[in-house]
Amino acid sequence: MVAALLQRSTVRRSLFLKCCKKFLSQAVLASPSACTGQRRNIQPHNSVTHVTRQQEATEPDIHASKSSLDFTRVENYLTSIRSTGLQPTIEDIEGFRPSRHSRPGTKKYANEYRDLLDTLCRAFSKDQLRNLIELYKLDPWWSRAKRKKMEYAESIIEQGWGWPSLKELEERHVARTEVISKSFPMTPSELFIILGKDGADLLQLSIQYNVHISLVPDPLALRVEGLRGALKQMTEHIDALRKDIEDEIFELPTRRSIPQALIQRISRLAGAYVEKCGDGGKVQRIPSTCIRS
């Protein structure tokens, strides 16, 4: 009887222990600490990825902030110089000098030039820029009085640092691309000289400067159309012709006036423009050779 009771007690104790173990294992799996542990296993990976992307996204801002900070320090330094009444030195302005620039004539070069010009104008006063030109020992013409502040800065960039002039580059571009027209008023004698025999000289001018030339009868003029640069050269050529024209007056032996119908024929035969001078037997002669010497 005692043995049977002991056996039943042992069986009950064994079942109780098994139930406790099962209950405890389920409680552990369902506990918040277990979920937190899983999150901790995942969170570090996501956190590293997030930080890396954030660093990549802010790298340009960091470089921009550093550049802005450097410029602010330079401005503060120059401000302190001005407050003490001292003048900036070559070393001070050389700190703004870029080590290189883009190819002249490109849009990138134009932007770099304008940014550099704006920087110098903000960093230095007009008198300081003029004084720096003298320190560079440039021609006194560049540091002459009554120039604008921007012109002093341009002189340092172009004459001191050797950058090609942006204005000249832009003017050349316009001269190569912009088509314009211009009228040149003419006197009969000037037109005769420019036309040449049967218009051969005028045709040669059109080919030489790659322009289109037409004659306007009233008022008498030459209308020229072409690139701006070509018209500038054409203008210089016509001005030179006008300066070289010389006239001579002759008195005819017969002292009789030449009929107007013969004037043009005589001019073609003589190779010079001939016109009556007064009512008597005098003529004015303008040799075509005087402009080709």
Q: Which of 183, 180, 169, 184 is nearest to 228 (CA)?
A: 180
Q: What is the pLDDT of residue 106?
A: 93
Half-sphere exposure of 105 (CA within 13 A, CB side): 4
Q: What is the pLDDT of residue 69?
A: 52
Q: What is the pLDDT of residue 21?
A: 47
Tell me, yes or no, if the pTM score tops 0.75.
Answer: no
Q: What is the pLDDT of residue 176?
A: 81
**Contact predicate 150/122, CB 8 Å:** no
Q: What is the pLDDT of residue 86?
A: 74
Q: Extract the tokens encoding 190.
A: 């000037």
The Cα 242–Cα 17 span in angstroms is 127
Q: What is the pLDDT of residue 225?
A: 92
The continuous run of DSSP H or E covering 185 comes out as: strand 179-185
- pLDDT mean values, one per 10 residues, the chain (293 residues): 47 48 44 41 38 43 49 62 74 93 94 95 93 94 93 96 94 84 87 78 88 89 90 89 74 71 72 67 54 42
The Cα 4–Cα 289 span in angstroms is 153
Domain 178-244 = CATH 3.30.460.20: no
Domain with CATH 3.30.1370.10 in the chain: 178-244
Task: Identify whether 219 is preceded by a cis peptide bond (ω within 30 of 0).
Answer: yes
Q: What is the pLDDT of residue 14?
A: 55
Please tell me the total number of residues recorded for the chain in this structure. Answer: 293
Q: Extract the tokens encoding 279.
A: 């009512």
**Contact predicate 241/291, CB 8 Å:** yes
